[in-house]
Structure 1
């Protein structure tokens, strides 16, 4: 299963349009160079009779459009979100202060990202493993499937409701879910597909495996991942 971050959609305005303009400028440049080197008898007839740009203007158009495309690519890299996640045993989430497997997503970049969609896939103990997720469910469907297995919402597990438009600030975190010991025994794995849009309109996706390295029988809270002592 692919779980690295990837771009699933580029902004049409800021990506495809610039690429199209660069291609048109390159075509005009090639046409102008060829036309300027033809003998006068050929430029008197079509299609070489048509004069699009002079050599200086064609060169300037290529430099401007290619430069704009490169600048856009560089800026897109600068504002690209860095999606990650962390899961560990924490106290205080489950009822009565019981220990729970708690999961958070984070944006390790400097710029804000905005959630466009979140999908879930849950596989219970004893169910066959799928090499690739075939379909994604929303939060309510996953909770209903867990309740149908006998788990109690807000007692054995809690999956946060994350709607489209939720910002994930740079260096910020976003709570995803927690699972108490009973849910940890009945659930084999939970996958979360997070899609966010950045400042230039590109949509990024990452699939988070919340039960990777799970502690199914927690005995004590885990230390903070960035704790030094």
Structure 2
């Protein structure tokens, strides 16, 4: 079933907001399971304390692992540690940012090459877990649609290069995409990801970049950046002018 595309409408500033897609099993999932287990045990022990003593001599009511006071102390300690962990995770949370500029960073109307930058503005480390692209070209019938359940729509660098070449774009001449493999660090200073010429951009209807990073606690964060929907106005005007000339040629 085809659903609405995740690429935004013009002016949708909330699209692609960073989100946490998975918590660390060791430092989050297991502690939550432990807290839930001790909470259930506390309820069981409190219920047993309010039962008739004769009932406590028979199964299943005589079953007990940890007494009430010990369970309560462990539960309070585990809950406190989990809260501290969540606060620490917030401090270490990476903040993935993107930027677009031209070769001179002056946003000139006649600039032919536009660059795409990626950086981590957070205080914690960020290591690439996954780096994927979604592209649709000018004139594609499904440029505004995407089946969210079909992961094949998001592709790695090797596939995106083939897709761009299929439209006659030349690597190193009309565009360039830097390879970002799993395990690569996301720098705090802006890291160069890609560049496109106006000719290359004129062929694109959508070019979305999705990155997943792992922080120091093992949590995975994701952000999607809609490149074509975040172009400066001078770039959009240059693309329109190029397409107009191309249609008259």
State whether TM-score is above 0.5: yes
Question: TM-score with structure 2 length normalisation?
Answer: 0.79
**For residue 31 of structure 2, what is the aligned residue in structure 1?**
18
| Alignment correspondent of 1:183 | 200
State the alpha-carbon separation in 2 of the partners of residues 91 and 155 from structure 1: 18
Find the aligned partners of 2:88 and 2:228 in 1 and give their Cα distance: 35
Q: Residues of 1 paired with 2:189 and 2:46: CA distance?
A: 52
How far does residue 69 in structure 1 lie from its aligned partner after superposition?
Answer: 1.7
Q: Does 1:32 align with 2:45?
A: yes
Between the aligned partners of 1:213 and 1:8, the Cα distance in structure 2 is 24
CA distance in 2, matches of 1:27, 1:72: 22
CA contact (8 A) 1:91 1:99 kept: no
Instruction: Map Cα deviations across residues 152-205 of structure 1 (whole Å, 9 max, x no partner).
Output: 110111011111111114x33222110012112222221111010111111111
Aligned to 1:45: 58
Query: Hey, what does 1:201 align to over in structure 2?
Result: 218
**Out of 155, 164, 170, which is 1:152 matched to?**
170
Aligned residue number for residue 3 of structure 1: 16
Work out the number of aligned pairs and report it. Answer: 212
Pairing 1:67–2:97 present? no
Matched, 1:105 2:118: yes
Q: What does residue range 115-154 of structure 1 map to in structure 2 within 5 Å?
A: 115-128=128-141, 129-132=143-146, 134=150, 135-154=153-172
Residue 52 of structure 1 and its aligned partner are, at CA, apart by 2.3
Gaps (5+ residues) in structure 1? 93-97, 219-229
In 2, the alpha carbon distance for the partners of 1:110 and 1:36 equals 49
Question: Counterparts of 1:131 and 1:123 in 2: how far apart (Å)?
Answer: 10
CA deviation string 1:84-122 (max 9, x = no partner): 211122249xxxxx7411111121111110001111111
Aligned equivalents of 1:49 and 1:123: distance in 2? 66
In 2, Cα distance between the equivalents of 1:102 and 1:206? Answer: 19
Q: Contact conserved, 1:91 with 1:100, CA < 8 A, in 2?
A: no
What's the secondary structure of 2:85's corresponding residue? helix
Q: Which residue of 1 aligns with 2:92?
A: 79
Any idea what SS the aligned residue of 2:229 has?
A: coil
Match of 1:95 in 2: none
CA contact (8 A) 1:25 1:65 kept: no
Structure 2: runs of 5+ lacking an equivalent:
1-5, 7-14, 106-110, 240-249
Q: Secondary structure at the match of 1:40?
A: coil
How big is the shift at 1:142? 1.2
Whole-angstrom distance in 1 between the partners of 2:41 and 2:189: 47
Q: TM-score, normalised by structure 1?
A: 0.85
Q: Is the 8 A contact 1:32 1:52 kept in 2?
A: no
Give how far 1:212 is off. Answer: 1.9
